[in-house]
Amino acid sequence: MEKKRYIVGIYFLIFILISTAYLAGFIYSSYRYATGVKTKANVTDVNIKTIKNHHTKGGSSKSNETDITYEYTDGKDRYENTVKISGKKHIEKGDEIKIAYDENDHNKSYLFNEIIWRIMPTLFFIFITIAQIFLYKKFCRPKPDGPKETDEVI
């Protein structure tokens, strides 16, 4: 029984660490966006690449990588930036998007949508971790022995 509890504990620890990493990424992205100068940018190019990862018995697995190039202005100068995001995103050339840029370094600009895209896996891992803890408590915890008999009379 002790070995089972140890394995389940490691399993929960892994999920908690993954959830924490996603949450830290989300908080960092939110902070970058919140402290930047907000503006709108125009998408000048969208390039979606399909990447084959590896072959399995059932076929091969694929993933997508999207490069989004956009340009924005700070009122006097025009800047261009490209971000690489995993997965297909529903952004097309000519779309107007929300960004924030670092006032001291215009090469650092961040998409608002990056924050939205990061919250989904973060919430997923947090929800799964909490659900697993509740399920563990309900089904896997050792049941306490019945009431102990005592010699005392009350």
Break the chain into its structural domains and give their ranges.
Answer: 2-27+38-137
Let me know: does 103 contact 39? Beta carbons within 8 Å. Answer: no
Let me know: does 54 contact 115? Beta carbons within 8 Å. Answer: no
Task: List, for residues 115-125, the tens digit of each pLDDT value.
Answer: 566 667 777 77
Let me know: does 93 contact 43? Beta carbons within 8 Å. Answer: yes
How many C-beta neighbours within 10 Å does residue 72 have?
20
Structure token digits, residue 112: 């608002």
Task: List, for residues 28-87, the tens digit of each pLDDT value.
Answer: 777 877 788 888 999 999 888 877 666 666 666 677 788 889 999 888 889 998 888 776
